[in-house]
Amino acid sequence: MKTLRTIVLSFFLIAFLLGSQSLALPGQNTTTQANTLTELFKQVQKHTDLCEREFSIDISKSLYSKQIEQSLLNDILVQNGVISMACRSTLKSSYVNLKFYNMRYSSGKRCAYAFLSDDMEMLNDEELLLLKTAKQITDSFEGEPEEIEKQIHDYICDNVEYNNAGNDTQTYHQATGAILEGIANADGIADAFYLMCTLKGLGVMCVAGTAEVNDGIVVKWIWNAVKLGDKWYMTDVTLDEIQIITSYLWYNLGSDMMSADHTWPDYIPVTMSEKTFQSDRFITVNSMQEMEQYLIDTLESKPVRVSFLMVDTHLDYETIETMIKKVMDHYWDEHGVAQCIANYKTNACEIILIYADRLI
């Protein structure tokens, strides 16, 4: 399995894009005025949707309070912008200036906003190329929403290399790195997934929190949530991508399985499904012995991928490898199994079987 290094990231949490708005270029510091709290919240929403790195809003002294400032950060900025974004208030003679800064630019979000608002003029040349390329990729994806999502998931896993080293232009943090350069970190992969799902009409958002990776190391992380039917499910394309063979251990999970190794804020603007989508794809077992026996019993049908959910036990790769070796030594030659690969998470694993007479 590929190794993840400890990561310290700035994360954005994207909710829903609003309608067409006038453009301020990324990084441009704009100042507007708000006369009511409703106007204030709408303007902050607009600026974050447009990925402005800095912006200011003047409000009357009677409207301002520290609670309002904190509410803006928690309820809007964290839900729609970057967790590391900050707000600084400055008292003037007759008003209070609220300055918001440190928001990370998101090429995927800007392209999605331009697409939904049908405003290509807001994009620069690189963003236009990104949107054009993403559309060319996704135009061939067809089927039901979950089938389209799986095609997007698999495309990213097959064509984007995970890399957390970063670069001078920060494209690794954006859909630009994932789609145009084929290399990105968790930020960029989630941003690309967001853009591609938006282009296909899927309800999608980015979720920021923590993830347990590298045998117990907990790091700040970003992944996605997708709406299927009337429920929201979580998908971590990055963790699925870094496995030796594309994994579905972090694909369309409910809080029942995602919470085993991910945490997220309780003020996310939607409620995640408690149950994993098509949860019957995981065979529930109570012990490694049960897992081993199920594999032995099912070998006759030549399964390609068998996914297990372990009850009340944390899995580790060494134990899984020991079980696989034991089964291979005694049973798999007669069934033509040439190789076996295991992907695993805290409470689940996939056993992927490669047969001598056919490919996966």
pLDDT higher than 50, residue 21: no
Residue 359: which pLDDT band, with cuts at 50, 70 and 90?
low
Provide mean pLDDT across the span 316-324.
90
**What confidence tens digit (pLDDT) does each residue in 124-150 have?**
999 999 999 999 999 999 999 999 999
pLDDT higher than 50, residue 298: yes
Q: Residues 6 or more apart from 333 whose CB is under 8 A from it?
A: none
> Can you list the domains of the chain with their CATH numbers?
30-101 (3.30.110), 107-263 (3.10.620), 279-355 (3.30.110)
Length of the chain counted residue by residue: 360
pLDDT higher than 70, residue 80: no
Tell me, what's the pLDDT at 19? Answer: 30
Query: Among 50-54, 228-232, 321-325, which stretch is predicted with the lowest mean pLDDT?
Result: 50-54
Tell me, what's the pLDDT at 336? Answer: 87
Q: Do the beta carbons of residue 80 and residue 13 sit within 8 Å?
A: yes
Residue 311: which pLDDT band, with cuts at 50, 70 and 90?
confident
50 versus 2: which is more confidently predicted? Answer: 50
Provide mean pLDDT across the span 295-302.
90
Strands 337-344 and 262-263: what pairing?
unpaired
Q: Is 168 exposed, middle or buried (0-12, 13-18, 19+ CB in 10 A)?
A: exposed
Tell me, what's the pLDDT at 95? Answer: 86
Question: Any idea what DSSP says for residue 326?
Answer: H
Tell me, what's the pLDDT at 244? Answer: 84
Query: Among 173-177, 224-228, 260-264, 268-272, which stretch is predicted with the lowest mean pLDDT?
Result: 268-272
Q: Estimate to the nearest angstrom the gap between the alpha carbon of 124 and the chain centroid.
A: 25
Provide mean pLDDT across the span 301-318.
89
**What confidence tens digit (pLDDT) does each residue in 330-356 have?**
888 888 888 889 999 988 999 999 888
For residue 41, give Cα distances in angstroms to 38, 58, 117.
5, 12, 20
Q: Is 142 exposed, middle or buried (0-12, 13-18, 19+ CB in 10 A)?
A: exposed
Distance CA 254, CA 232 (A): 8
Residue that has been written with the tokens 């309002």 in this structure:
68
Closest C-alpha to 194, from 175, 210, 209: 175
Tell me, what's the pLDDT at 62? Answer: 81
Query: Among 80-94, 173-187, 297-311, which stretch is predicted with the lowest mean pLDDT?
Result: 80-94
How much of the chain, in percent, has pLDDT values that exceed 90?
Answer: 44
Distance CA 351, CA 182 (A): 27
**What confidence tens digit (pLDDT) does each residue in 85-107 have?**
566 778 887 788 888 765 667 88
Q: Do the beta carbons of residue 14 and residue 39 sit within 8 Å?
A: no
Q: What is the 3-state secondary structure (H, E, C) of 195-227?
A: HHHHHCCCEEEEEEEEEEECCCEEEEEEEEEEE
pLDDT higher than 90, residue 312: no
Tell me, what's the pLDDT at 102? Answer: 57
Tell me, what's the pLDDT at 173? Answer: 85
Tell me, what's the pLDDT at 295? Answer: 92
Tell me, what's the pLDDT at 314? Answer: 83
Q: Residues 6 or more apart from 172 whose CB is under 8 A from it?
A: 163, 164, 165, 166, 183, 184, 185, 187, 188
